[in-house]
Amino acid sequence: MNEPATPGHAGTGSAAVPAAPRPGGAESSAGLSAGPPAGLSAGPSAEALAAASVPRPGGARTAAVPPLLRPGDTVAVVAPSGPVDPVRLARGTAVLAGLGLKVVTGAHVLDRDRYLAGSDAARAADLQRAWCDPAVAAVLCARGGYGATRILDLLDWAAMRAAGPKTLVGSSDVTALHRALEVRLGLVSWFGPMPAAPLLADPGGPEPRSLERLAAALFGGAESVTGDRVIAPGSAAGPITGGNLSLLAALCGTPYRLRAEGRIVLLEDVGEAPYRIDRMLTQLLGTGALDGAAGFALGSWTGCGDPHPVLRERLGGLGVPVVAGLPVGHGTPQLSVPMGALGGIDAESCSLTWSIRYPDGAL
């Protein structure tokens, strides 16, 4: 995953402003600020998890589902990875506000330490503070880049579990956080566009389909994406896992390594030559990370030349369905996919679908 660094500026932005209380009267803590670049607050009250994880064939379990958002809810934007462009951040937070959300930002969201959005400790603190703030309903990662893997062991997972379930949104480098949420908290999270990244923060306005499907992910309604080619026929069902190929390869040998058994594996990447894609797939195959996969849903491969011969060679002979060309990852549009939710792939329609039962009973 070769992404250019985004220019950033050291500093924390404006002074923190108390976030609006969530139902139940919980007040936000200090450290989050409203609007573009500023501080951060804490997470929503611990609402009941969605129905207990359901056993799937091969031992795979679907993850618990955070509550849907409502207009007026507070969301926090944090930067767990690369440095953030303040102009893009301002545009992206305005887009979120246009969805009827109250937006607060991490105290260190505009920090910069070389290719990182500030120190590891600061990035981890912003994420944890947002997650544990009872006023915050969802945490959106500002952008990808590099750095999420460096903070996984700095997070207090017991405190985050005690804070109750909430929504995480991000893609690319945020694959590391999706894997950690599945392993540590057993939660569904959304692989989707980010507020300080191009599709939501370009000068011409957000890419319409990407924004529409992000809103559906947050408020309810997203349920499928369709590709443009079939690499191997068939159909399969299982929890959705995976994400960015480079990150999944980097997580081999860690507690957050990919475990594909009984699952549908989403794969995508950017800026990787076909031979590098071959190498990373060979690594995942050799470590057993892909053993027992129910099927594969392949997203965008922006700036990767033509990876499909390699994808066909390495995945097409595994005896499971493989659909490709899904608008998920780094391309345009970037549609949102729920990691950990029960999904299905069908080669006849070349689609990835999913079913989510929310805590309030909504589907």
Q: Look at phi and psi of residue 234 and say left if phi exceeds 0, alpha if psi is from -120 to 50, else beta.
A: left
Do 155 and 96 form a contact (C-beta atoms < 8 A)? no
- Phi, psi angle pair for 346, to nearest 5°: -140, 120
- pLDDT of res. 1: 79
Handedness of CA 73, 74, 76, 77 (dihedral sign): positive
Distance from C-alpha of 175 to C-alpha of 182, rounded to nearest angstrom: 11
Active site residue 308: no
- Quote the strand ranges of 271-336, DSSP E: 295-302, 322-324
pLDDT given for residue 361 in this prediction: 59
Strand partners, 344: 237, 353
Dihedral sign for Cα 13, 110, 210, 20, please: negative
Fill in the amino acid letter for 228.
Answer: D
Instruction: Count the helix, strand and coil residues of the chain and give each as a percent rounded to the nearest 5.
Output: 25, 25, 50
Mean pLDDT per 10-residue segment, the chain (363 residues): 49 30 38 49 28 40 90 98 98 98 98 98 98 98 98 98 97 98 97 97 96 97 93 98 98 98 98 98 98 98 97 98 98 97 97 88 60
Q: Which of 3, 207, 261, 268 is catalytic?
A: 268
Give the pLDDT score at 33.
59
Q: Is 162 exposed, middle or buried (0-12, 13-18, 19+ CB in 10 A)?
A: exposed
Both tokens assigned to 89: 């951040």
DSSP string, 190-243: EE---TTSHHHH-TT---HHHHHHHHHHHHS---EEE-SEEEE--EEEEEEEEE
> Do 345 and 241 meet the contact criterion of CB atoms below 8 Å apart?
no
The C-alpha atoms of residue 144 and residue 174 are separated, in whole angstroms, by 6
Q: What is the pLDDT of residue 31?
A: 63
Distance CA(60)–CA(263), nearest Å, equals 6
Residue-level pLDDT at 261: 98
- CB neighbour class for 133 (10 Å; exposed up to 12, middle 13-18, buried from 19): buried
CA 160/CA 9 separation, integer angstroms? 29
Q: Check if the beta carbon of residue 41 is closer than 8 Å to that of residue 35.
A: no
Two tokens, residue 98: 């246009």
Which residue in 108, 178, 308, 330 is the catalytic one?
330
pLDDT of residue 13: 31
Dig out the tokens for 208 from the structure.
């319409």
Distance from C-alpha of 8 to C-alpha of 13, rounded to nearest angstrom: 12
Contact by Cβ (8 Å): 93, 10: no
Query: Which residue out of 172, 189, 210, 336 is catalytically annotated?
Result: 172
Identify residue 251 by its one-letter amino acid code: L
Cα–Cα nearest to 338, from 271, 263, 285, 283: 263
Round to whole Å and give the CA distance between 98 and 104: 14
Structural domains of the chain, with CATH? 32-219 (3.40.50.10740), 224-355 (3.50.30.60)
Catalytic residue flag (residue 108): no
Active site residue 330: yes
Structure tokens at 362: 């909504």
Q: Which amino acid is at 292?
A: G
